[in-house]
Amino acid sequence: MAEEKNAPSGFKVVDRRSFSTDGARREDARLDEPAPPPRPAGPPARSTQPEAEPQDDFGAEPIGFDTLISYLSTTAMFQLGALPGPGGERIPADLPNAQRTIGLLEILQQKTQGNLTPEETRFLDEALYELRLGFLEVEKRQNRRGK
């Protein structure tokens, strides 16, 4: 194990500081290179540039607003019993939770109004339209069975 620590790693550290720890200018310091700017005290300043969108585990495409809408829409469809379970089994409708999920999408629609691209607006509008229709159909079916 001691031999592993002494083995060359291919990684080289170069000290480019102009001054030694006692404050004296180092002889081997290059004067033609600008010194790095001093680090400010405290937490790092926030960048004004937009952050990169996080990647999903598969590294396919960036996760964005459309991914959020798809995720919530799919969840609502499962809750409506419109999609089969992982094993292909039929999932019974859960109307109260489907209504909550559709409500979340409606809140997103209200809170993002005027801040979405035309494509994002259309995608959200279409998802809500389809889910509302699906909710009404399932509710109507359940009311017929109950009578």
- Domain range summary for the chain, segments of one domain joined by +: 65-83+92-146
Q: 66-100 pLDDT, tens per residue?
A: 999 999 999 999 999 999 888 888 889 999 999 99
Average pLDDT, the chain: 80
Q: What is the pLDDT of residues 61-75, one digit of tens each?
A: 788 999 999 999 999
Beta bridge partners of 19: 25
Helix 95-111 × helix 65-79 angle, to 10°: 160
- Give the separation between CA 135 and CA 79, rounded to whole angstroms: 10
Neighbouring residues of 29: CB distance < 8 A, sequence distance ≥ 6: 16, 17, 18, 19
Q: Give the pLDDT mean for 118-123.
A: 96
SS3 105: helix
Angle at 132 between CA 74 and CA 65, to 5 degrees: 45
pTM of the predicted protein model: 0.58
pLDDT at 67: 95
